[in-house]
Amino acid sequence: MTQPSSDARTALVVVAHHRADSLTAHTALRTAARLEAAGFRIDLLDLHAEGFDPRMNVADQPDWGNREKAYSDETHAHMRRILDADVVIAVFPVYWQSVPAILKGWIDRVWNYGFAYGRSKPRLAGKRILWLGLAGATADDPVTEGMHSLLETNLSEGIAYYCGFSHSAVGLLPDAEERPQRVDAEGNLLVGDAVAGAEREAQYADFDRRARELLEKFLAEEPVPA
Ligand SMILES: Cc1cc2nc3c(=O)[nH]c(=O)nc-3n(C[C@H](O)[C@H](O)[C@H](O)COP(=O)(O)O)c2cc1C
């Protein structure tokens, strides 16, 4: 793999999963490797491994009368990592059609008043973010389309654009479960048979291909002019 040049762009890859052997962690590492191959310098932020505490606290609670508030050292260190990044890629399992608590807490505490929003010249302007969400629902489950648009509304419109990002996209990766899941008309969760062997390999390969395509599409998209 080629070394990124000193003027290489930086990608902050944020992983929100409690297991290092999860499909989410695997997808994050593959995504980081692809970004590195595309010439990015990588900052890998594994929120669980770094022991990030998602709970809001007094030091990091915004003070609406003071956008210059000095937040906790931990939060300032995370703000620095965002400022140093040109692109942010958040990789997470979809929980309740949203992000897991640890990722939500990172946003709550770090994307704070005076830093991410509340300034006429947003500090995050020019940056781009891809939300790569792994979902247990199958691609043909009727719930999947609505889940995607809900995530776009929440993460892109409600958070990223509010915080001044120039571009935000949600890449949804359904079929993340070994055993396909869907909910029937009566609300029962139907869990299919686990796949194994060559079929399992093919399922992983297809998943990997979809993740790569979402990243390539994101990298090729033109940023919205500031
Ligand atoms: C608390 C919880 C909530 C979940 N909510 C959803 C959901 O709203 N939609 C969905 O498609 N899958 C949902 N799932 C399934 C996960 O998205 C799925 O297990 C995960 O993406 C698989 O990746 P992993 O093996 O890396 O954990 C949920 C799982 C958990 C544990």
Whether the predicted pLDDT of 220 surpasses 60: yes
For residue 182, the model assigns a pLDDT of 83
Ligand 1 contact, 178 CB (< 6 A): no
Whether the predicted pLDDT of 193 surpasses 90: no
Quick one: pLDDT band at residue 66, thresholds 50, 70, 90? very high
Whether the predicted pLDDT of 131 surpasses 50: yes
Quick one: pLDDT band at residue 116, thresholds 50, 70, 90? very high
For residue 185, the model assigns a pLDDT of 86
Q: Which atom from ligand 1 is nearest to the alpha carbon of 22?
A: 26
Q: 10 forms bridges with which residues in the sheet?
A: 41
Distance CA 207, CA 22 (A): 13
Q: What is the mean pLDDT of residues 38-61?
A: 98
Q: What is the mean pLDDT of residues 186-211?
A: 89
For residue 3, the model assigns a pLDDT of 61
> What's the 3-state SS for 16-45?
CCCCCCCHHHHHHHHHHHHHHHCCCEEEEE
Q: Which atom from ligand 1 is nearest to the alpha carbon of 173?
A: 21
Q: Are strands 128-134 and 87-93 parallel, antiparallel or unpaired?
A: parallel
For residue 194, the model assigns a pLDDT of 84
Average pLDDT over the chain reads 93
Ligand 1 contact, 24 CB (< 6 A): yes
To test the pocket of ligand 1, the residue of 46, 48, 96 to mutate (highest count of ligand atoms within 8 Å of its CB) is 96
Distance set, CA 168 to CA 3, 20, 95, 130, 218 (Å): 27, 26, 20, 6, 9
Distance set, CA 83 to CA 6, 106, 135 (Å): 17, 15, 29
End-to-end CA gap in the chain: 34
Whether the predicted pLDDT of 42 surpasses 50: yes
Q: Which atom from ligand 1 is nearest to the alpha carbon of 177?
A: 22
Q: What is the mean pLDDT of residues 22-39?
A: 96
Lowest mean pLDDT among 43-47, 106-110, 192-196: 192-196
What the block records as the tokens of 2 is 């080629």
Ligand 1 contact, 177 CB (< 6 A): yes
- Strand, coil or helix: what is 130? strand
Give residue limits of the domains in the chain: 10-220
Q: 45 forms bridges with which residues in the sheet?
A: 14
Whether the predicted pLDDT of 145 surpasses 90: yes
- 143: CA distance to ligand 1 center in Å? 13
Whether the predicted pLDDT of 226 surpasses 50: no
- 25: CA distance to ligand 1 center in Å? 14
Q: Which residue has the higher pLDDT, 204 or 60?
A: 60
Lowest mean pLDDT among 46-60, 154-168, 179-193: 179-193
Distance CA 133, CA 135 (A): 6
Ligand 1 contact, 7 CB (< 6 A): no
Lowest mean pLDDT among 63-72, 118-127, 192-201: 192-201
Q: Which residue has the higher pLDDT, 24 or 203?
A: 24
C-alpha 94 chain-centroid distance: 10
For residue 196, the model assigns a pLDDT of 84
Ligand 1 contact, 136 CB (< 6 A): yes
Q: What is the CATH number of domain 10-220?
A: 3.40.50.360
